[in-house]
A = this chain, B = another copy of it.
Amino acid sequence: MKKLINDPRAVVEESVQGFGLAHANLVTVSTDPTFITRNDAPVSGKVGLVSGGGSGHEPLHAGFVGRGMLDAAVPGAVFTSPTPDQILPATLAVNAGAGVVHIVKNYTGDVLNFETAGELAEAEGVSVRTVLVNDDVAVEDSLYTAGRRGVGGTVLVEKIAGAAAERGDDLEAVAAIGERVNANVCTMGVALSACTVPHAGTPSFDLAEDEIEIGIGIHGEPGRHRIPMENADGITDRLLEPVISDLGIASGDRVLLFVNGMGGTPLSELYIIYRRAAQVLSERGASVKRSLVGNYITSLEMQGCSISVLRLDDELTDLWDAPVHTAALRWGV
């Protein structure tokens, strides 16, 4: 294992410190327990937005703290959801009286820890609504699993719900927008290589030189199945097909196309994937109105990508376009 780290157990702490130093104009880092808030939190009258999860997915979530997106991010250990004693103070810190929305990726650990924190916050008089993100179409039989995972769509939920909160929507409305995004986005991912969790020291799975993992999550876990290596267009089709069919994308649909890198794939390759995905969507009569290409929700240094499609309507488009000022996503300001 070769990493730019000091102590494997200090990775999150030191990385968050560096993040705080680099973006002191945007965020405040609280330690013991660790969470990150936007500098002007709580924003008077505004619904607070809190997300969090295991670390190792950077820039998610800390990179999305700031105007027009999250009010707080709560990082757990690498690939380990944070604990209620982090989530609760983050929730209290961003509550301006209008309540707080928790954006939670659907993993057992995240759900249980945010659930507890939400109860504790309610007990302290803060109204909390939870938006559960579960956009991963790779999980086929949600009856026999912990349900679909929250993956790439999380970024879109955070951006759009963040814009709704920023324009002054109330608690129920912000949660409803977040749920609408979640209901209209599907994602599927592929890994060309595994990643190595710092405290584990060995790659999260073993993959032959000519194999890839289809249907991976974002925690370095193996995917649903393993197939021989294919070219970029073939892989794109394989990822996009279930996304399109699950969303029921039809001719005339307007969509946002999000090609996300898992951390170790060159940007140039993500654009090769984007090219094919955009072509296929146009062939189906869908119109790609917005795009996002880059490393936004990653698995450490894993090579691979995910493709997300979000069905847009006028309101979601406007909210997507609304100004956002965070370390990792910025426009209009």
A contact set with B: CB distance below 8 Å: 2-7, 11-12, 14-19, 21-23, 55-56, 58-59, 63, 192-193, 209-210, 212, 229, 231-233, 235, 257, 263-276, 278, 288, 291, 293, 295, 298, 300-301, 303-305, 330-333
Closest residue to A231 on the B side, CB-wise? B6
Partner of A192, one of B4, B18, B209: B4
Determine the chain B residues whose CB is within 8 A of the CB of A274 once the complex forms: 18-19, 21-22
The complex places the Cα of A52 from the Cα of B268 at a distance, in Å, of: 15
Q: How far is the CB of A298 from chain B (nearest CB, A)?
A: 7
CB <8 Å contact, A5 and B275: no
The interface residues of chain B lying within 8 Å CB-to-CB of A295 are: 267, 295
- A270 and B4 within 8 A (CB): yes
Complex partner residue of A2 from B7, B58, B192, B300, CB under 8 angstroms: B192
What residue in chain B is nearest A24 (Cβ atoms)? Answer: B291
6 CB contacts below 8 A, A to B, read A4-B232, A16-B271, A18-B270, A21-B291, A295-B295, A330-B330
Among A16, A293, A304, chain B packs the most CB atoms within 10 A around the CB of: A293
Q: Are B18 and A272 in contact (CB under 8 A)?
A: yes
Number of copies of this chain in the oligomer? 2
Residue of B nearest to A4 (CB): B269
A301 touches B264 (CB 8 A): yes
Q: CA–CA, A211 to B7, complex, Å?
A: 18
Shortest distance from the beta carbon of A302 to any chain B beta carbon, whole Å: 9
**A58 contacts which of B3, B63, B268, B332 (Cβ < 8 Å)?**
B268
Beyond A5-B269, A14-B232, A18-B275, 12 extra complex contacts between A and B, CB < 8 Å = A2-B192, A2-B193, A4-B192, A7-B231, A14-B271, A18-B278, A21-B291, A22-B274, A265-B301, A266-B300, A267-B298, A301-B303
Residues of B with C-beta under 8 A to A288? 21
A1 to B, closest residue via Cβ? B209
Least CB separation from A14: chain B residue: B272
Shortest CB distance A313–B (Å): 20
> Do B212 and A2 touch (CB < 8 A)?
yes
Asked whether A269 and B231 contact (CB < 8 A) given A21-B275, A330-B331, the answer is no
Does B232 lie within 8 Å of A269, measured CB to CB?
A: no
A232-B5 contact, Cβ under 8 Å, with A263-B266, A266-B58, A298-B266: yes
Cβ-closest 4 pairs across A and B:
A18-B275, A18-B271, A4-B269, A58-B267
Quick one: closest B residue to A234, CB to CB? B6
CB-defined contacts of A23 to chain B, threshold 8 Å: 291
A268–B333 touching, CB < 8 Å: no
Q: How far apart are the CA atoms of A268 and B233 in the complex, in Å?
A: 30
Contact of A278 among B22, B267, B304, B333 (CB under 8 A): B22
Q: In the complex, A19 Cα to B229 Cα: how many Å? A: 24
